Amino acid sequence: MEVRDANAAMLSNYEVYQLLTDLKEKRKEMVKNKHSTGQQNLNTIMYETLKYLSKTPCAHQNPDTVKKFLTSMLPHKLTKAEKLQLLNHRPQTAVEIQLMVEESEERLTEEQIDELIQKVTDVLPGDPQKEADASADPEMETDQ
């Protein structure tokens, strides 16, 4: 076996999540054929990866939001790795942005960081459950 290119492309969590869910569907349809024991490794890694990714923000993304996100990131001049991390993690605080973007103090002003957080929160869908809880709390506070 020969490795031609160990780094041909970077994949976002969403792409891998999509690939694995499609593969899982296809394999379910092929259940009529004997489930060979040789595929146990594939089953294990698929199950674990899906379990991990379903808890990340990528589970709620779709191709349109990803495209929209990348176009909205154009003016900020971020590297590919930084955009990928923002896409995979959906940071909500300035602290998280500072961790993911290198030398953020020099490259981004505070307003730009806030702008980034705003764009990320608007364009990338979050966990609907958590957002329902979060919006319920301020309502409770105003009632009191």
Partner 1 sequence: MFVLVEMVDTVRIPPWSFHRQLNEAIAEELNKKLANKVVYNVGLCVCLYDVTKLEDSFIFPGDGASHTKVHFRYVVFHPFLDEILVGKIKGCSAEGVHVSLGLFDDIIIPPESLQQPAKFDEAEQLWVWEYETDEGAHDLFMDRGEDIRFRVVDEVFIDTSPTGPSTEKEAPSAATAPPAGAEDSAPQKEAPYTLIVRILDIAIMSI
Contact footprint for partner 1 (CB under 8 A): 1-13, 15-16, 19-20, 23, 36, 38-39, 41-42, 44-46, 48-49, 51-52, 56, 81, 85, 88-89, 93, 95, 98-100, 102
Q: Would you say 39 or 109 has its CB closer to partner 1?
A: 39
Q: Would you say 29 or 143 has its CB closer to partner 1?
A: 29
The set of residues, in sequence order, having a beta carbon less than 8 Å from that of 134 and lying 6+ positions away, is none
The set of residues, in sequence order, having a beta carbon less than 8 Å from that of 21 and lying 6+ positions away, is 50
Residue 53 CA to residue 80 CA, distance in Å, equals: 20
Tokens 């076996």 correspond to 1
Do residues 91 and 115 make contact, with C-beta atoms less than 8 angstroms apart? no
Q: How far is the CB of 136 from partner 1 (least distance, A)?
A: 20
Q: Would you say 41 or 142 has its CB closer to partner 1?
A: 41
